[in-house]
Chains A and B, each alone.
Chain A
Amino acid sequence: MERMQQVVGRARAAFNSGRCRSLEFRIQQLKALKRMVQEKEEEIVAAIKADLHKSGPSAYGHEILYVMQDLILTIDKLPSWAAPRPAKRDLLTMRDEAYVSPEPLGVVLIIGAWNYPFLLVMHPLIGAIAAGNAVVTKPSEIAENTARVVADLLPQYLDPELYPVVTGGVPETTELLKQRFDHILYTGNSTVGKIVMAAAAKHLTPVTLELGGKSPCYIDKDCDLATACRRITWGKYLNCGQTCIAPDYILCDPSIQSKVVENIKATLQELYGEDVKKSPDYERIINKHHFRRILGLLEGQKIAHGGEADEATCFIAPTILTDVSPASKVMEEEIFGPVLPILPVKSVDEAIELINSREKPLALYVFSNNKKLIKRVISETSSGGVTANDVVMHFFLSTLPFGGVGNSGMGAYHGKHSFDT
């Protein structure tokens, strides 16, 4: 489609004009983004609500808050990030100047995901703008309302030639991927990740792929079980399980399985009340396709809690499965839904073996009072990131590079790491 060629061509011409190189320009654009988020907060929150049945406070807390934090951090730190970094010299070069000079790549493509539709477009965008690039943003079409809001708002606040928004589904994205970019950041699943990388290979375009996987959660017998289960419940059912770093499945000793179930049930009650369906804080599955997919995973499983579903509203109750076998369907792919399988394992060795027999996950969780055990799990497994004795939290620390490894992705971002990418 000529449209894609034109949009990208205009962005490249705008980049070549050199106007996004100065720090003043970049900071001005970032400040405009900040104004946008402040002034249009209601509109943005409403769109997220419509897409995911998310409550106002949740939308704010999950997406807006973090975007604002990142904007403030980036605006503040940009001059120091962009400064040349002196390199250690040796005998031969002692009288020379040696340094690494950060420079923009050119035209960056950001492909967003539907689960945190605002955050996952804004967060990479902030880094790309800060680094002095022109950016083409392609929000996920599955989160229709947020995509529309992004397409409407961004041109109102940012330089429309340098930072165009392209909307559309698979055909438009395929066309877009035929164009030449200088970096592509894609958030989504591994299957499409491969397609993106193959398309990028044609132009030798470096990529950052933020994918997913089945993030294991090991609960040791020696831990504060009540706290562990509270935290796991929060992380698992957040956004109705549609979080790339949600604890996907639990590994624990069979003797504590029923206590884990009890604790989670109690926390669910606390978080969502007696009738989950009526709770304004419980989200919905994004669409019918995923609804049916997730429901299909329950087949043949022992449902210890939950299991209720309503197709009309894409509602699936918070569900816990027990005595799950590693070979079952629910253990084949990332669940991305409010279904929590518990797999009994007899020891941490068994847990580690199971984890290592699978693709490297995006996140890994371990709950234990025993520091040595935690250290061991971290050393003997490989994952994009780890939080010990809590879940999800490593995402929020912008000084930590956030990304996957192996099937869960390549490259990382957040904070300065976005700029460096």
Chain B
Amino acid sequence: NPYAGLVSHLRAAWLSGKTRPLEYRVAQLEALGRFLDEKKQDILEATALDMGKPHFEAEFSEILLSKNELHETLNNLSDWMKDEYVDKNLVTRLDSAFIRKDPYGVVLIIAPWNYPIHLILVPLIGAIAAGNCVLIKPSETTMNAERLVAEALPNYLDKDCFAVVTAGVEETTRLLENKFDYIFFTGTSRSPSVGRIIMTAAAKHLTPVTLELGGKNPCYVSDTCDVQNVARRVAWGRFFNAGQTCVAPDYVLCSAEMQEKLLPALHKVITDFYGPNPQESPDFGRIVGDKQFQRVQALLRSRHAAIGGQMDEKERYIAPTVLVDLQPSDPIMQEEIFGPILPIVTVANVDEAIDIIKGRERPLVVYAFSSDYKVVNQVLERTSSGGFCGNDTLMHVMLTSLPFGGIG
């Protein structure tokens, strides 16, 4: 067991009680803030090298959102740590009854490649705030980000209590043989098998887990809406990070008439965002690796693109693409796309849309656009998903007061 030493080192640090006092946690969190500030350039460069991430996107999603989370935590931590006193009954009237927030111990965080810094930092902030020791396993797919985290991050944190380990698939399997007190895993739903593998490994030690997976997030667009607005928001959500976002709208459901209106609107928006040739735009990303590129490329085959469709294998560039007149049975509708392709499936009405959504696995998020509030509410009430956003995309992820996660 190659990681046994590392894990027991962290466990010994945990047992020493070092990570428990508020002051200690605050100091570590503040150090994370300094990491984000001092290493900002390095983060922007690493993500640009790894996946052509535009600087603006990286600054926003990797740094800004992480800092937001950090501030929220630092501002509220002492309150969060307080014992929560509960209502008592007759028998306990004279007693003191409260819920004590106790750290678990040694936490393992496994991060994915699409937001390689953010998706380490945000769970890490929580784990440190709660008083745990943490072992971080960044994604091996984004090699520059992985190296940055492995080399720089430990210098900001207490090396006794926090460690970074680099590992590929096989090593991660060995890593999971060790006992952790909590495992936080983020990965896409195209590999629900990985989520299952993690949970099965956790079951051997009765380790609780948080699994942040993915899904095909439907986006219903009703006939009554501001088409320009909808096009802007859907395009932004879909093409951000070249579509490699777990909460991106994966496919659109709308009537044939709406499809006719959406197409030119989307075309205009894409040109507004990325210019006439997105490949030259500094604001449009790339697919992270060859394997992923080939997967997405295969999804596009045999479909004629209404917008976009151009590809450049050398750069792993896929143009912002819109496909029309899809059927729920088409190949591209069978897995989470995780690329800059937006299929539109036409439906007769909102009921048909809801039926299609309900006939599939529950997604991470459901989107519904309509100026008629009742329609939005209908979709909300009749579908089940991790989260929901009406009349915008991605926004619910940024509100730290909303719990973010999936279901099923």
Contact = CB atoms under 8 A, between A and B. Distances in A.
Interface stretch (B35-43, B94-102, B241-249, B319-327): B94-102
B86 interface: yes
Contact of B399 (A98, A182, A211): A98
B396 A197 contact: no
B206 A190 contact: yes
Contacts of A379: 20
B87 A399 contact: yes
Contacts of A394: 97
Contact of B384 (A103, A194, A382, A409): A103
Nearest to B200: A201
B202 interface: yes
Given A202-B196, A204-B408, A209-B206, A92 B86 contact: no
A89 interface: yes
Contacts of A401: 99
Contacts of B388: 101
Contact of B204 (A198, A386, A396, A399): A198
B1 interface: no
Interface string A376-405: 001110100010000001101111110001
B203 A201 contact: yes
A93 B399 contact: yes
A268 B204 CA distance: 40
B373 to A, nearest CB: 10
Interface string B161-180: 00000000000000000000
Contact of B199 (A90, A197, A399, A406): A197
A105 interface: yes
Given A105-B407, A182-B408, A201-B203, A89 B399 contact: yes
Contacts of B208: 410-411
B401 interface: yes
A322 interface: no
A87 interface: yes
Contacts, number: 99
Given A90-B400, A197-B206, A200-B199, A397 B408 contact: no
Contact of A407 (B86, B202, B206, B211): B206
A222 B264 CA distance: 81
Contact of A197 (B91, B99, B203): B203
A193 interface: yes
Interface string B369-408: 0000000000010001000100000011011111100011
B338 to A, nearest CB: 19
A397 B88 contact: yes
Interface residues of B, number: 43
B336 interface: no
Contacts of B195: 204
B146 to A, nearest CB: 26
Contacts of B200: 198, 201-202
Interface in B75-127: 86-89, 91-92, 95, 97, 99-100, 102, 104-105
B289 to A, nearest CB: 25
B17 interface: yes
Given A16-B358, A201-B200, A406-B105, 16 more contacts: A90-B401, A92-B398, A182-B408, A190-B206, A197-B206, A201-B202, A201-B203, A204-B211, A204-B213, A204-B408, A209-B206, A378-B100, A394-B97, A396-B92, A397-B97, A398-B89
When A and B form their complex, which 8 residue pairs have the shortest distance between CB atoms, in order from nearest? A201-B199, A197-B203, A399-B86, A87-B401, A198-B203, A88-B401, A410-B208, A201-B200
29 contacts: A89-B401, A90-B398, A90-B400, A92-B395, A98-B396, A98-B401, A101-B380, A101-B388, A105-B407, A194-B206, A197-B202, A198-B203, A200-B203, A201-B202, A202-B196, A209-B206, A211-B206, A356-B15, A380-B17, A393-B91, A393-B95, A394-B97, A396-B89, A396-B92, A397-B92, A400-B86, A405-B104, A406-B206, A410-B208
Interface of A: 16, 87-90, 92-93, 96, 98, 100-101, 103, 105-106, 182, 190, 193-194, 197-198, 200-202, 204, 209, 211, 356, 378-380, 382, 386, 393-394, 396-401, 405-407, 409-411
Interface of B: 15, 17, 20, 86-89, 91-92, 95, 97, 99-100, 102, 104-105, 181, 192, 195-196, 199-200, 202-204, 206, 208, 211, 213, 358, 380, 384, 388, 395-396, 398-403, 407-408
